[in-house]
Amino acid sequence: MNPSAAPEPVGSAPSSSPASASAWALLDAFVAAGVSDVVVCPGSRSQALALAAAELAASGRIALHVRIDERVAGFLALGLGVETDRPAVVITTSGTATANLHPAVLEAHHSRVPLIVLTADRPAEAHGIRANQTTKQDDLYGFAARLAVVVEAPTGDAGEQDAARDLAQRAYLAATDVLDPGPVHLNLAFREPLSGSFDPVVAEAVSDVLDETDATTEAPLYPGRPHLVLERGPRTLVVAGHHAGPAAEQLAADGGWPLIAEVSSGSRFGRNVIAAYRELLREEDYREAVERVVVFGHPTLSREVPLLLQQPQVETIVVAPAGAEVYNPGRRADRIVSSVAVEAGPADRAWLGAWVVGSRERVVDPSPAAPDLDGLHSTTPAERLASVRAELDAVRLPVTREVLVDAVWRATWPHDRLVVGASRLIRVADGLVPGRKISVHANRGLAGIDGTIATATGVALASQADGGPGVTRVLLGDLAFLHDVGALLLDDGVAPRLQVIVGNDGGGTIFDALEVAQSAPGALFDRVQYTPQHVRLESLATAYGWEYRSARTRTELDQAFTAPVTGPVLIEVPLPRA
């Protein structure tokens, strides 16, 4: 991004601009197709697109979000798409600005989130001569783009605006393809004058037509993936990875089978959830007893699940109604199907019960114990004093990772949103928190730490649009926070109800669990893996205009979550490394 770069001299102001006319036609058609959010990064070459977006926002037809960092902008658009299931449009200038969108484009591809990327470019004659801010941008995102189109610079010829509108509808349909939604890339060349006056023509809305078409069409099946009815006999586990959805929980309930549901699966509710599945799968009695596994979504939070799926005695059935790529460790899946059901008959209660009881025995509830009311009301001074001291000691205990994730989970309600970063905390939550029907998201397509705050901001802005209720909380570690600290810079006057909760253990303690931590010299490991940091988060909050809170005890944590949230809040929770 280079907002200071000036366009080439073009003489006097033009009376008309092919760049502006084509940019308007394209964005107006996107809005007619169903786009409601546009994210703009400032730049020279993209000015016609940016100004058209500003006009659409001024007329109330879109929500406009302006960001100076393209990587932040890309993940903001991703978060908007996650919450709305519609593609947000993100606009950049040419050059390195386009490359900074690549992480979000890759995440959108692997998570199948609709996204439309518009990159401005220099015209053909500026390529190959080392013109400023000019690089090869066509097919920049390669395999990740569902559609990639290079558009030559408009000249004002008849039919250009109609072509732009047709392209917008084609791009929208590609991004929202029900079998494989994802990112679309339009690389748009512009010549000087880069903007100017024109006569805008407003397109008729076509989103109702598109929605009606989708509603009257039966849910499509990915080619070659049938529906399967499961017999009840084999001892079965249901595994719900990221974005599995409620179908996994429904199958587990219908079959009476244990449910392994990751925190961002959308399936972690109901009575069959097994929180301590990793511990149980490490035990031979449980692991060897499994005869069949039915997998939904994209499991990413354990080594035990992919190892189980590669055991020779385990029949693996993968449910994948959409997407060209299928989760299939070792390429050992016996069946890949679009949907499943279970035949009628009695459930194996002993099988489910063994897993439920085993999980309960291994999960330690980190929530505070109930007060000793008898002791507090005792007529014996010593007993009463001892109970008071015990209560004071309990509320003063430092926060652990388990206490933190438990408090966040309990504070989040169905009308809220929770976004969890790719930090150690998501694995702690996955092995601890009970089933609860709340909206949880994590960027697990590639499980990178980048863009977590920006994604959560997009989720917050979309869920709270038009007066939507609730708070969006993002739970992440200190390195994931610092990696996306630029996302703290928000639009003037736009303050989503957003709590960024940072478990600060001074570095990447997630790597402490790797084998290398036991074999590498401590000082070298700390420098290149743990990467200690001593940033003052309160100063960052002040610099970006965020409210700041520190929570060192469970009481302070509960107070932070029960306080009214009217804007962005940074909550720092110091944690021990070990």
Written in H, E and C, the secondary structure of 51-111 is HHHHHHHHCCCCEEEECCCHHHHHHHHHHHHHHHCCCEEEEECCCHHHHCCHHHHHHHHHH
pLDDT of residue 99: 97
pLDDT of residue 218: 56
The H or E element that residue 174 is part of is: helix 160-175
Cβ atoms 260, 277 nearer than 8 A: yes
pLDDT of residue 102: 98
pLDDT of residue 206: 64
Cβ atoms 421, 391 nearer than 8 A: no
**Distance spanning both ends of the chain, measured CA to CA:** 40
Helix axes 70-84, 102-111, angle to 10 degrees: 20
Burial of 357 (0-12, 13-18, 19+ CB in 10 A): exposed
pLDDT of residue 370: 62
Other CB atoms within 10 Å distance of the CB of residue 397: 13
pLDDT of residue 134: 86
Output the six-digit token pair for 357.
């009881």
CA 6 to chain centre: 35
Written in H, E and C, the secondary structure of 215-282 is HHCCCCCCCCCCEEEECCCCCEEEEECECCCHHHHHHHHHHCCCEEECCCCCCCCCCCECCCHHHHHC
CA distance 107 to 101: 10
CA torsion, ordered 152, 153, 155, 160, to nearest 10 deg: 60
pLDDT of residue 1: 47
DSSP 398: B
DSSP 526: I
Tens digit of pLDDT per residue, the chain (578 long)?
A: 444 444 443 333 333 789 999 999 999 999 999 999 999 999 999 999 999 999 999 999 999 999 999 999 999 999 999 999 999 999 999 999 999 999 999 999 999 999 999 999 999 888 888 888 888 999 999 999 999 999 999 999 989 999 999 999 999 999 999 999 999 999 999 999 998 887 777 777 764 444 444 444 455 678 889 999 999 999 999 999 999 999 999 999 999 999 999 999 999 999 999 999 999 999 999 999 999 999 999 999 999 999 999 999 999 999 999 999 999 999 999 999 999 999 999 999 999 999 999 999 999 888 766 666 677 777 888 777 777 776 676 677 789 999 999 999 999 999 999 999 999 999 999 999 999 999 999 999 999 999 999 999 999 999 999 999 999 999 999 999 999 999 999 987 788 999 999 999 989 888 887 787 888 888 988 888 888 999 999 999 999 999 999 999 988 999 999 999 999 999 999 999 87
CA torsion, ordered 74, 78, 79, 80, to nearest 10 deg: 100
- What residue type is 553 in one-letter code? T
Give the residues across from 119 on adjacent strands.
92, 187
For the chain, counts of helices (H) and of strands (E): 22, 19
Cβ atoms 317, 334 nearer than 8 A: yes
